[in-house]
Structure 1
Amino acid sequence: MTDYTIRRARRHDIGAIVHMLADDQLGATRDDPGNLDPYLRAFDDIDADPNQLLVVAVAEGEPVGTLQLTIIPGLARRGSLRGQIEAVRIRADHRGSGLGTGIMEWAIDESRRRGCSLVQLTSDISRTEAHRFYERLGFTPSHTGFKFKL
């Protein structure tokens, strides 16, 4: 098994992150590694917000996994914090290595460390393999999600 380090993403990681986002059945239709400008603007906003953590898993000096963790304060559940996990991606040549489990466990531990009472995520209904992965980690399919495209 390869050794991985999980750290906050840096601006120079954005190209590798966008390639991972685009190397996906849905990302291929909505992400464009050929134009990093909108991603760099988004990175600046994410990086400036203390409730946002965009992280990369690094192996041999290269980002090979990523996710975004958002800490959401709320009134529900007695005013508890929630950890929202999004954009989980593992580079194709590192899938099946245990990295997905490792980066998800990192996000759960970080949510716990920050005082969250719940960790949640959404996943497109077509991602049945990802759903099995999340269920193996202990996530429960408990809600139906809706989106309104603008």
Structure 2
Amino acid sequence: MVVIKEIEMESLPELGNLYQELMNKPSDLNRLEEVFKGVKADNRYILLGAFVEGELLGSLMGIVCQDLVGDCKPFMVIENVVVSARARRQGVGKKLMNAIEQAARERDCYYIILVSGEQRKEAHVFYESLGYRDEKVEGYRKHLSSH
């Protein structure tokens, strides 16, 4: 059974492993722990995990941003969506996405922004199956340090 809940400190080593799977490079666990404490203290961040028999096999992060346009309703940005290769195609990602969408609704978000790398075609099919649309906007990223 898949349990979706907020990630706590004791799951950081497993989260680091998931991020390594996502980014193909290891996370600095000391820095991850330090930043995690700030994220947990800031209610704009929602860091969810998918636990299968107690093991963290998926995660995503939602960030609520306040908008100043129109009705000034907040919106959510979703980042770092990852499901372990061992748990894909078992409904784990769908449960994570449904949970973060519910959190966005509870916070009265007007919309959700989700960016996915162009090469991740399988992920795009998954997002579209959940109702996300490719709106043909250009996305730009500028790295401010060498990673």
2:74 aligns to what?
A: 81
Amino acid in structure 2 at the alignment position of 1:99: V
1:139 aligns to what?
A: 132
Q: How far apart are the structure 2 equivalents of 1:76 and 1:38?
A: 35
SS of the residue 2:48 aligns to: strand
CA deviation after TM superposition for structure 1 residue 102, in Å: 1.1
Q: How far apart are the structure 2 equivalents of 1:129 and 1:144?
A: 20
- The structure-2 alpha-carbon separation of the partners of 1:134 and 1:10, relative to structure 1 and needing over 3 Å to count, comes to same
1:22 aligns to what?
A: 20
Q: How far apart are the structure 2 equivalents of 1:119 and 1:106?
A: 13
Normalised by the length of structure 1, the TM-score is 0.90
SS of the residue 2:134 aligns to: coil
Residue segments in structure 1 that go unaligned for 5+ positions in a row: none
Q: How far apart are the structure 2 equivalents of 1:77 and 1:60?
A: 45
1:53 aligns to what?
A: 46
**1:112 aligned to which of 105, 113, 117:** 105
CA deviation after TM superposition for structure 1 residue 17, in Å: 1.0
2:57–2:87 Cα contact (<8 Å) kept? yes
SS of the residue 1:117 aligns to: coil
SS of the residue 1:79 aligns to: coil
RMSD: 1.2
CA deviation after TM superposition for structure 1 residue 76, in Å: 2.2
Question: After TM superposition, which residue ranges in structure 1, 4 or more long, deviate above 6 angstroms?
Answer: none
SS of the residue 1:85 aligns to: strand
Matched, 1:149 2:147: no
2:7–2:47 Cα contact (<8 Å) kept? yes
CA deviation after TM superposition for structure 1 residue 117, in Å: 1.1
CA deviation after TM superposition for structure 1 residue 111, in Å: 0.4
**1:9 aligned to which of 7, 11, 19:** 7
Give the paired residue count. 143
Q: How far apart are the structure 2 equivalents of 1:63 and 1:147?
A: 29
1:101 aligns to what?
A: 94
SS of the residue 2:77 aligns to: strand
CA deviation after TM superposition for structure 1 residue 36, in Å: 0.5
Normalised by the length of structure 2, the TM-score is 0.92
CA deviation after TM superposition for structure 1 residue 5, in Å: 1.1
Residue segments in structure 2 that go unaligned for 5+ positions in a row: none
